[in-house]
């Protein structure tokens, strides 16, 4: 009976590896925002560890530091705001906080931050890694950064309780390279809201499918 009750309890989840939400500075941020807010709506407790520092598009896009967003708890972690070090230092800070926090699951996003996955794992946390791509192969990373990101990949392959991949090619890569089974869960999309063509009817007297755009 106690075991069945435990299964029904909603988990307390920490997420890290993104820059900030709700800034949507990149693809990972979109995924983290959508996933965390949807899980809150399902009744889970979710905390996202945001980086400190400036928006990638410039300081004019910096917003106020929120403590909550759509039910998601936001915590800002110490970050050395320098290129090549921001991701490393923020993921270290977030992993330490997650390790000592009362979380059931710690969800790491992207390969580089997974270099710190062993920390919460050491404290008995269940750790999930979502691999958004084979980041160390990307041309923008070189030298130490590329090696560090690949190290994060190896840590995830060895220590993560579950690994989520977004493509079948990455799933095959982990199987061939590490003999590691992964869960293939591609990103979803939000269906656009379908609206009646009110304005074009009022301004031009046109209805849907009654015109052609020649631009």
87 CB-side CA count, 13 A: 21
Report the percentage of the chain scoring pLDDT > 90: 60
3-state secondary structure of 26: coil
Asked whether the beta carbons of 166 and 188 are under 8 A apart, the reply is no
Q: pLDDT digits over 198-215, tens only?
A: 888 888 888 877 776 665
Separation between Cα atoms, residue 18 and residue 30, nearest integer Å: 9
- Pick the closest to residue 110 from 141, 80, 79 (CA basis): 141
Contact by Cβ (8 Å): 66, 36? no
Domains of the chain by residue range: 10-190
How far apart CA 46 and CA 51 sit, in angstroms, is 16
Model confidence over 45-97: pLDDT tens digits?
999 999 887 666 556 556 667 899 999 999 999 988 777 788 899 999 999 99
Tell me if 38 sits within 8 A of 128, measured CB to CB: no
- What is the dotted CATH code of the domain comprising 10-190? 3.40.50.2000
Question: What pLDDT does 1 receive?
Answer: 47
């Amino acid at each position: 009976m106690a075991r069945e009750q435990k299964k029904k309890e909603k988990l307390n989840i920490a997420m890290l590896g993104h820059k900030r939400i709700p800034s949507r500075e990149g693809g990972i941020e979109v995924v983290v925002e959508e996933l965390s807010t949807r899980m809150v709506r399902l009744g889970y407790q979710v905390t996202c560890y945001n980086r400190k520092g400036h928006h990638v598009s410039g300081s004019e896009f910096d917003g106020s530091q929120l403590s909550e967003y759509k039910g998601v708890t936001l915590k800002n972690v110490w970050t050395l705001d320098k290129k090549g070090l921001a991701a490393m230092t923020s993921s270290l800070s977030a992993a330490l906080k997650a390790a000592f926090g009362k979380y059931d699951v710690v969800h790491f996003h992207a390969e580089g931050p997974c270099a710190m996955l062993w920390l919460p794992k050491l404290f008995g946390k269940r750790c999930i890694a979502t691999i958004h791509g084979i980041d160390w192969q990307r041309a923008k990373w070189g030298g130490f950064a590329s090696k560090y990101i690949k190290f994060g990949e190896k840590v995830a392959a060895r220590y993560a309780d579950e690994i989520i991949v977004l493509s079948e090619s990455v799933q095959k890569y982990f199987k061939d390279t590490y003999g590691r089974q992964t869960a293939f869960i591609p990103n979803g999309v939000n269906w656009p809201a379908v609206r009646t063509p009110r304005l074009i009817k009022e301004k031009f007297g046109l209805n849907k499918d009654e015109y052609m755009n020649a631009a």
